Structure 1
Amino acid sequence: MNLFSPNLKRNDLIKLSKENHHKKITINVFRNHSFEVISSILNAFLSFSKLKAEFNISSYDDSLSYDNFQKADLNIIFIDLNNYKKNVDDFIKEKIQELSSISNTPIITLLLGNTSLKEYSICKILKPFLDENLIIDDSNFEINASRLSNKACVKLAQILGLKILPSFLQPTLKAIIVDLDNTLYQGILGEDGIKNLVLSSNHKALQNELLKLKNQGFLLAIASKNEEEDVKKLFTQRKDFLLQLDDFSMIKANWKSKDENIKEIINFFNISFDSVLFIDDNIAEIENVSHLHINTLLADENSAYSLKLYPRLLKTNFSKEDELRNADIKANLQRQELSKLNPKEYFEKLQICLKFHINHAGELERISQLLNKTNQFISNYSRLSLKECEEFMQKHAILTISMSDKLSDSGIIAIFIAYKNETNLIIKDLCISCRALGRKLENIMLYKAIELLHLHFNTKECILYFQKGERNMPFLEFLYSLNANIKENFALIQKKMINYEGLIIES
């Protein structure tokens, strides 16, 4: 079954939901109208992300009392505003705040009816996927205890199960690699010629979706079996294309296999294979890259629709660093050319500056974001929520490192979560963005951060906690290269004088 199809049948989805045996998650639902019309088919869509939900659904409760609250991976507030005689937007905001005070896990609010809280409006969520006139069906209330039409229920389950829920529960994707011929347009560049390529409504919509994602900080790249010069001419001449050459951080247009080109792109971006989506119209090409374990989407007549729904592309928050990422990645080509210089010359040529902050409240959102999406260079996977970061900062210390050079501003690229235990400095967790790796800075950042944290806490010894995860081998290799006293789940890190020559450091 194509779960991204615009036309799905409830009975087929119910059957598929029952066949889902993936990783279990728990979802609390606080509601005043029927959620069962959604939950009965939701697991069909969650199966695409290898998730299976078990629901704690409240009784019908206009007061949202949160009686019998249970711990869960996620909370949903599902409210029909028609049940209230007056505007209750302030009441809803209070109840969201109340729930956030008793739960550290994400809250998704879905409101049916007129509201100024547009970000929570079910109608607004459904509008890009369903005709507005088909959303409400008052006659449905007698049967299903909800004013949502049957079509709206299926569509909302599709949006929640594919697009929204996985984005709160799994790491966000970082890059989208696209084919060109019959993917971004109709036709074959080398055979049909630039002028004869057709930009259909679906291809135009797909380019529009990709441009939106690029503007949200996702990296775009091209992997195409074409001549690179032809590709450059294509984007120069086709002014009707929404995407332009500068929107792509890397272009691999040649006659090598797609999997080779994709590996080179991923290595250049310095990201994990699982954080990439590859879009191609050729099922054989999709099959040929399956061994890379990347995410794939077969381009067809509904490509734009499918991309709108694709898991892990919804950013629940958008930071300054997201805007900086594309320029930073492009600048890596120039950095690589200088990488053979000795550290002092390298730092001086690039004018690299590191800024260290301790307990900077204005950075909390980025701190939580980086802790929750870093997989390669992370020590202890603490995965603190925004609220937990705020609480930890009030009692202990969170050190951040920002980096810039003459080519770009990388923003915050490293986090240290630390506290004092008697005379010891305890580093509960640390992470460094993959974008900052390979710039001869890891040792400097570690030892300078430890030096500043010792001064902050007036401590003498440093204990760093770590665990062996599925994907943090880059951190573990770095740790074992330090010559530290390493135990089963922690390491004793001694003070060390580091040569910072040529580097600008601010603290």
Structure 2
Amino acid sequence: MKLTQFCCLLNPELNSRDVKKFSFEINTLKSIKLSIERTLPFEYIAKFMPPFLSLWDKEGIFSYSDYDTSLAQISREDDIDVYIFWMDWRLYMENMSPEQCAIWFSERLIKTKSNCSILVNNWPSFWQLDEKQYSANLSKRGWIYQFNVQLERLKQEFKQLEIIDLDLLSSQIGMSSYDSRNDKVSNYPFSNQLTLQVARYISLNLLPAMLEPKLKAIVVDLDNTLYSGVLGEDGNDGIHLTEEHIQLQKVLKNLKENGILLAISSKNNEMDVLELFEKRTDFPLQRNDFTFIEANWSSKAENIKIMAKKFNFDVSSMLFIDDNPAELMHVVSDLPAIHLLLADATGKETVHRLINYPRLYSLKKDEMAEQRQQDILANQKRQVLQANAVDGNAYLNSLQMQIGIYENEKGHMQRIFELGQKTNQFNLALKRLTKGQMEEKFISQDYKIYSITLSDILSYSGIIGVFICHINGVTARFEEILFSCRALGRKVEDAALHSILKKLQKEHIQFVQFDTVRGPRNKPALDWIQSVTLNYVENLVDIKNRLEAKLLDYPAEVIEKHE
């Protein structure tokens, strides 16, 4: 895909001609099934979605309900990935209060499949010019203000629900968001301009956030990317920080504070780069915002390989931003799985391209963000300890590890869901459970969800693993086992499973089986399970004995915990 073609779909200004002429290979895309429950035409949105969806290798398959203001017949088809409730809320203003309408809608949400993500639109608070003649309490704006708040509150009850924020998108466009002629002809009140923005917002922000693991790291160039100018030629004081570059750095800092790791790969002298951050205190981004800095004259592809090894995750979880198309092409030729973004020298377009880039949008605040960065830095110290240790057990003993095991701890559910969405390497069955599916398993008497925490002398890593276990008589079936790449290499998975099996044995479990799926990057998990079990279903005692042999003289303390 051409970088310029990619960028045209991410830029702030969209036009239907550019979107329609965008080309992509349909036979390489994975289908997602979208069930449209509607009282408003969605076809106007759907026709613009394919190019945007193709940017993260997806194709939308749409099924449409009838136009039914009662929403009496909500689809329950097996293959639905996401429900989209596309509602003309004007139809309900006269007969219901905002509170009554929200309660009525919540009763319809209960009828959806519990394992599916759900999107619903709110309503623009200002869509008619004559609304300016009245205060909110005398106009329809008052109803809309209150209803939008009620709709947002439903997210507390329905964890799989997210809002298509028409109020926000229309406020950015203004009165040109609306098309009264189109409304009169087809009962669709939105302009082409707003329709394009909504199609992009659903396709590039909301759907990837619901269905795909978030990107883990952004690697940025410096010159003419984070600022205007060339450090080696213009010096610290000569490079120019435009308002657009300030905004770009703020966006990157926000991403970092919500879980995206930042790194630098730049063809500059390292001492010059460190001096730059020391002297340019006007930069929103400072030295400690970057986990790693590779400033040298090596190829940027080699630098990114080094950083990926330090991060301990695959380059497919990384985005590289550079203003030089040739550099981007060189990197992707060496690292085909990496994601690319072309920066512009002014910074203006870069901000919007970054905001619209798939798999960066956040639905929840990442409470583990700072902890994750500190743990990755601590891993560098662990590598030094390991290199200087006499043997493997001496290294592990020096870490003074403590492994915590929690059973059915509901407070861990959000983190467990995030692990399932993010983890690629140590993901045994690749199930990618939705929030609804996860909640069902926590509630069920037939499931045991074990969350694993880890701490050592260098850092507290937090929740780094999960075992999802279905109990059926005397058999325990592990439907999913996940571990963060930050925890690998210390036998934590062996120690945790051994402790869990001892607990299950006391509960009269005799047999154990493990679900596995071979994916493009989960070989570490598959190699591990082959060292643990020899058969699809095996006697629990045999597996436990095998683990005990692997854990001979293992020094970590394993503790059952409760919160």
Q: Deviations over 1:285-322 (max 9, x none)?
A: 10011131200000014000000000001123334334
* Structure 2 residue 55 is the aligned partner of structure 1 residue 4: no
Aligned equivalent of 2:286: 244
Aligned equivalent of 1:109: 120
Q: Deviations over 1:397-431 (max 9, x none)?
A: 11111112233221111111113333333222211
CA contact (8 A) 2:251 2:351 kept: yes
Aligned equivalent of 2:315: 273
CA contact (8 A) 2:406 2:450 kept: yes
Aligned equivalent of 2:455: 404
CA contact (8 A) 1:29 1:57 kept: yes
For 1:189 and 1:148, how far apart are their aligned partners in 2?
47
Matching residue within 273, 297, 303 for 2:350: 303
Aligned equivalent of 1:495: 544
Mapping of 1:118-133 within 5 angstroms? 120=163, 122-126=165-169, 130-133=172-175
Instruction: Report the CA distance shift for 1:204/1:90 in structure 2 as closer, same or farther (over 3 A).
Output: farther
Aligned equivalent of 1:92: 102
Mapping of 1:351-500 within 5 angstroms? 351-393=400-442, 394-395=444-445, 396-455=447-506, 457-482=507-532, 484-487=533-536, 494-496=543-545, 497=548, 498-499=551-552
Residue 109 of structure 1 aligns to which amino acid in structure 2?
A: V
Residue 118 of structure 2 aligns to which amino acid in structure 1?
A: I
CA contact (8 A) 1:37 1:144 kept: no
Percent identity for Structure 1 against Structure 2:
35
Residue 264 of structure 2 aligns to which amino acid in structure 1?
A: I
Instruction: Report the CA distance shift for 1:501/1:42 in structure 2 as closer, same or farther (over 3 A).
Output: closer
Aligned equivalent of 2:140: none
For 1:19 and 1:364, how far apart are their aligned partners in 2?
37
Q: How far 1:500 sits from its partner (Å)?
A: 5.9
For 1:213 and 1:408, how far apart are their aligned partners in 2?
23
List gaps (5 residues or longer) in structure 2: 125-143, 153-161
Q: How far 1:248 sits from its partner (Å)?
A: 0.7
Matching residue within 81, 85, 104 for 1:77: 85
Instruction: Report the CA distance shift for 1:324/1:386 in structure 2 as closer, same or farther (over 3 A).
Output: same
Residue 325 of structure 1 aligns to which amino acid in structure 2?
A: R
Mapping of 1:152-191 within 5 angstroms? 152-191=194-233
Mapping of 1:218-229 within 5 angstroms? 218-229=260-271
Residue 270 of structure 2 aligns to which amino acid in structure 1?
A: E
* Structure 2 residue 385 is the aligned partner of structure 1 residue 338: yes
Q: How far 1:263 sits from its partner (Å)?
A: 0.6
RMSD: 2.5
Aligned equivalent of 1:217: 259
Q: How far 1:261 sits from its partner (Å)?
A: 0.4
Instruction: Report the CA distance shift for 1:63/1:273 in structure 2 as closer, same or farther (over 3 A).
Output: same
CA contact (8 A) 1:463 1:490 kept: yes
Report the 3-state secondary structure (helix = DSSP H, G, I; strand = E; otherwise coil) of the residue aligned with 1:52.
strand
Aligned equivalent of 2:58: 51
Instruction: Report the CA distance shift for 1:82/1:334 in structure 2 as closer, same or farther (over 3 A).
Output: same
CA contact (8 A) 2:214 2:421 kept: no
The TM-score, its normalising length taken from structure 2, stands at 0.83
Worse-matched range after superposition: 246-255 or 325-334: 325-334
Instruction: Report the CA distance shift for 1:439/1:378 in structure 2 as closer, same or farther (over 3 A).
Output: same
CA contact (8 A) 1:418 1:428 kept: yes
The TM-score, its normalising length taken from structure 1, stands at 0.92
Report the 3-state secondary structure (helix = DSSP H, G, I; strand = E; otherwise coil) of the residue aligned with 2:481.
strand
